Amino acid sequence: MLRIVFMGTPEFAVPTLETLLTWSGCEVVAVITAPDKPAGRGRQLAESAVKQAAAAHGLPVLQPTNLKAPEFQQELRGYAADLQVVVAFRMLPEAVWNMPRLGSINIHASLLPQYRGAAPINWALIQGEKQTGVTSFFLQHEIDTGNLIFQDVVPIADDDDFGALYEKLKAAGARLALRTVQAIAAGTAPSIPQTTGQELKSAPKIQKETGRLDAAQPAAALVNLVRGLSPIPTAFTQLPDGRTLKIFKAKALDETKPAAPGTWATDGRTYLRLHTGQGQLDLLDVQLEGKKRMPVVEFLRGFNAAVLNAPTV
């Protein structure tokens, strides 16, 4: 029976852990996850989603603050894992990923080598991709560059946002992880070097400014930005009065009455649109700072459209 140490932190990793627990050919002997962190208004310590799942199954949990610490590595070595499975965890030092006799594998939410980095789901949407997927690969020195094992393609629907695609890839990743572990156990897993001759798109960590709308861009590109950041961390713009407006859903419209990018159009009742470099961005679901999220029709009922410096019709 294959002895596995599982490493992961967010909810994205939970289905993979639980799927591995269903296979009789392996035993998850320990789970490594992030330390508890303050959260919420009370700043009370919150456990990661993976820790909660591990506790529900009675699994030993390690929460190292320093993966290079000798005491942690000694404890990890004591579990005598044949393989480590990593999903949405931090970068591992070589002494850790190279510890098991079969190495360590990672499940990444893109079709590597495309979208290496911390936010592959977001960037696939922002770039307007029509498909993405999940990849299993062996960990090596450079992040997301190890030899490929398997890949599964996941289509991106026109109405998918980050939240919807996250759910699809979370489930696909769990299925792929089990298939990969079973192949490794059987000795049939491929190990294919990643190609580097093509133009690669990266997936760096999302920063706050990533979500700021640039009205000089085409409306279609801004729709993709909104999709890629909804429901979190959310695309946003500043209204003329300085308040921040978050945008959860929008669509692109052809320009019927051209105006300078960054200016607004509204009837004060049913629509709120931003003129862009090409077309209009029709806002459908928004949240004004200090207020709750709501459809734009509801938002306009309590909003003084005069602050937009836009004529109402």
Per-residue burial over 125-134, b if 16 or more Cβ lie within 10 Å, else e, is bbbebeebbb
Tokens 């920063």 — which residue? 207
Residue 113 marked ligand-binding: yes
How many residues would you count in the chain? 313
Residue 111 marked ligand-binding: yes
DSSP per-residue string spanning 175-237: HHHHHHHHHHHHT----BPPP-SSPPPB-PPPPGGGGB--TTSBHHHHHHHHHHTTTTT-EEE
Is there a cis peptide before residue 10, judged by omega within 30 degrees of 0?
no
CA dist., res. 110 & res. 153, Å (int):
9
Please name every residue paired with 278 in a beta bridge, in sequence order, or none if there are none.
218
For the record, the structure tokens of 9 come out as: 């932190």
Closest CA relative to residue 84, chosen from 63, 65, 98: 98
Decide: 17 and 54 in contact? Cβ < 8 Å: yes
Q: Is 167 left (phi over 0), alpha (psi -120 to 50) or beta?
A: alpha
Tokens 């109405």 — which residue? 159
3-state secondary structure of 298: helix
Residue 110 marked ligand-binding: yes
Annotated binding site: 110-113
Annotated binding site for (6S)-5,6,7,8-tetrahydrofolate: 110-113
